[in-house]
Chain A
């Protein structure tokens, strides 16, 4: 079992839909949770960062962490075609080296 599991998709949704992206992890020592967005032929860029269980909101994006279930989510409201990208979750414990999920490919069609 990989330390971080993420469904690769692709996930195809119409513009304006609410998107839910998810990761599960196995190591209870993980305490820092991140979501990166990667456009085609570009490097990943940090989208959201959370430290504790609960929700964190930033504009149309909400990151949710459930440590008891070892489950994290990223919600995108009012999705736009420009949100089409691969979304990678990244999780780390005390080490400065995060473990990345495989990434979920999201396609938002007009």
Chain B
């Protein structure tokens, strides 16, 4: 079946502009995560959605970052007034709480470059 998809795959933007990154999770997966991966760094947790519960936003680095998930499916991560330090790969993952391991399935990521 279809895996997690993300768009765009690459995004180059100028400092100060806003960007939107999209994630389509696996159908039926109620949990959705956003991570940021900078060069040589591990996965930095950003935000977690589970069903209709309030999202866990504890990883968002600043108020320039926000995310929403519409209809319990597609999610959009928005970065306002981008800075050069926002340059990274943004990864989305989904999982199903019906699976004991709570295995996360990752998308290919969006590579964001802020010039």
Contacts and interface: CB of A to CB of B under 8 A. Distances in A.
B109 interface: yes
B111 to A, nearest CB: 8
Contacts, number: 51
Interface string B27-68: 000010101000011110100101000001000000000000
Contact of A43 (B48, B91, B95): B91
A102 interface: yes
A102 B40 contact: yes
Interface string B1-15: 000100000000000
A26 B41 CA distance: 18
A41 B43 contact: no
Contacts of B104: 44, 46, 98
What range describes how many residues of A lie at the interface? 20 to 34
Given A43-B4, A43-B93, A97 B45 contact: yes
B42 to A, nearest CB: 4
A96 B108 contact: no
Nearest to A88: B42
A88 B43 contact: yes
A41 B91 CA distance: 11
Interface string B87-115: 00001010101000111111111000000
Nearest to B50: A96
B70 to A, nearest CB: 21
Interface of B: 4, 31, 33, 35, 40-43, 45, 48, 50, 56, 91, 93, 95, 97, 101-109
